[in-house]
A and B are shown apart, each in its own frame.
Chain A
Amino acid sequence: MIQLQRVTKHFDGSTAALHNINLRVDTGALAFVTGPSGAGKSTLLRLIARLERPTRGRIMVNGQDLETLPRRRVPQFRRSIGLVFQDHRLLFDRSVQANVALPLEILGYRRGEARKRVRAALDKVGLLNKENAAPQTLSAGEQQRVGIARAIVHRPALLLADEPTGNLDPALSREIMNLFLDFNRVGVTALVASHNLELISSLGKPMLHLENGQLEARHGPRSEGRA
């Protein structure tokens, strides 16, 4: 479960990137965060992943208060999260297989077991045949799917995706979103930020709308932003 209570975030004393956000995403839920560029979607996800710290307010993720989370336990916390970025953030000096295996490397999986899991993850995103390819030889959609495979390969309890369809055409975007629906169906909690209102409206899932750093619910149950 993700819970934000009166969360505000300022960067270097500027106006608030996020202002007084109250949000709750239950375990096993899938929610979309929408809003125009600069609305604070990425900041919201970065706060939940503990890549940033709030200026004010409290953030709870899976029962863990991130404010009281000791620095040395942050890596352990992040292992329970899968992150997908708009720009994929793949390592171009290693193969698709090695990119996807990175979280397993960190977790200390043996090579055989890691390979099995990587193949399973690539299979899920339809890229098993590209296992040994170099990322730069893949299309943008394929690169994004590699990023998603990397985010889910270690079975995170929570999946956070920041504009995962940002650079993709409508058909590919729908395929990517369907992947998130699939993951959610097997119990993964997911929070997906996207400005593609048309696409996510069609998915029938709760949407949380951010505008100028403030949250309002749409297609979602309540105004406090509950999904």
Chain B
Amino acid sequence: MKAFHNKSPLHKASPGQGQGHGMRGNGERAGHVQAWAYNHADAARRSVGRRLQAPGHTLIMITVLGFILALPAYLWLLLDHAQHLAGGIDHEPRIALYLDDLTADEQAAAADRIGALPNVAAITHISADQALATYRAALPDPGLLDWLDSNPLPAIIEVLPLTSTPEAVHALERVLATTVPQATIVSDHEWIRQLQALHGAGLRILLVITGLLGLGVALILMAASASELRERREEIAISRITGATDRFLRRPSLYGGVVIGLGGGVFAYLLLWVGVLLAREPVEAAAAAFGLPMPMPGPAAPLGLALIAGGLILGWIGARLGSMIALRD
């Protein structure tokens, strides 16, 4: 053992030493910023090092997170594609007004009023006699109609909306109902509205599933982080005695959570690509069967970024909660 002298390097002043004692100058503050940045870099490095020391555990965590993130993203991708397919159907919605109890003059007046409405592109007025004539022409044995006492078919005003979105068509239906209150209104656009309602319900269910899975992921990562910190309890106890703050102690766990989140996000994006490639052929064949030759696109880059961001956020939250519980214990 060496003699201990005043000039020992051990007792020389150092800019980074003795954090938090008394007033600090600008130079010392700059030193603290450097120390803080170094501390973060060091925590990140140690955290990555720990992950590499247990590659099996790390890979399992990344895989679990990747699958859980990929599942709702894949469902969303399919729903989105279904919506695009529905949008690709060439459909001009028409609204039919059945005019049972209106005289010919009243029908003509109604047709004029409808034709003057703002969202009406065109109208076709078919009288009851015209309808019967058309029907008669279509029948193989028109003589059957001669047995009828009177014409059972109503007059029709067929309306072609200017804007064919479901909302605009629905609004026009309401206007028509007040314009010709005696008419029975039937729209052939109904099935698209039903499809949209199904899509909306699908999205809501997807949102709930995503929320539940996200919570599950956060809890898994929380448990992993808490368990990891408990394994380090001796180090934590000594560090606390030496003056480590909780922020310092949980920092490696937070970086660990972020690393797993990043890996999980990237893995989920890869899984999505695999899922799309596996489903592409049958989905495109099904679309073609409906006369919709629409290619199924791969997951776009923004979706990949959203998955990575989701992974990072979940990883951070899980690690934060886990470290909070473990350090409190």
Chain A hits for B42, CB < 8 A? 105, 111
In the complex, chain B residues whose CB is within 8 Å of the CB of A178: 1
Q: Is B74 an interface residue (CB 8 A)?
A: no
Task: Check if A124 sits within 8 Å of B4, measured CB to CB.
Answer: yes
Instruction: Return the chain A residue nearest B10 by Cβ.
Output: A120
A124 touches B10 (CB 8 A): yes
Please, which residues of chain A bring their CB within 8 A of the CB of B39?
105, 108
Q: How far is the CB of A165 from the nearest CB of chain B, in Å?
A: 14
Contact present for A103 and B10 (CB under 8 Å): no
A101-127 residues at the B interface, CB under 8 angstroms: 102-103, 105-111, 113, 116-117, 120-121, 123-126
Tally of chain B residues near chain A (CB < 8 A): 36
- Which of A81, A123, A124 counts the most B-chain CB atoms under 10 A from its CB? A124
Contact A120 B8 (CB under 8 A): yes
| B-side contacts of A106, CB under 8 Å | 239, 242-244, 248
Chain A positions 143-189 with a Cβ under 8 Å from a chain B Cβ:
145, 150, 152-155, 175, 178-179, 182-183, 185-187
Known A76-B19, A79-B19, A109-B16: A102·B1 in contact at CB below 8 Å = no
If A107-B35, A110-B34 touch, whether A186 touches B5 (CB-CB below 8 Å) is yes
Does A24 make an interface contact (CB < 8 A)?
no
Contact with A along B32-50 (1 / 0, CB 8 A): 1011101100100000000
- Interface flags for B5-40 (1: CB within 8 Å of A; 0: not) read 110111100101111110000000000101110110
Contact across chains for A79 and B242 when beta carbons are under 8 A apart? yes
Q: Which of B34, B36, B234, B243 contacts A76 (CB 8 A)?
A: B243
State in angstroms the CA–CA spacing of A46 and B243 once bound together: 14
- Contact string against A for B residues 223-253, beta-carbon threshold 8 Å, 1 for contact and 0 otherwise: 0000000000011011111111100100000
Enumerate chain B residues within 8 angstroms of A10, measured Cβ to Cβ. Answer: none
A107 to B1, Cβ gap below 8 A? no
In the complex, the answer to whether B240 meets A117 with C-beta atoms within 8 Å is: no
Query: What is the distance, in angstroms, from B249's C-beta to the closest C-beta of chain A?
Result: 9
Top 5 nearest A-B pairs (CB, nearest first) are A108-B35, A182-B4, A79-B243, A126-B1, A78-B243
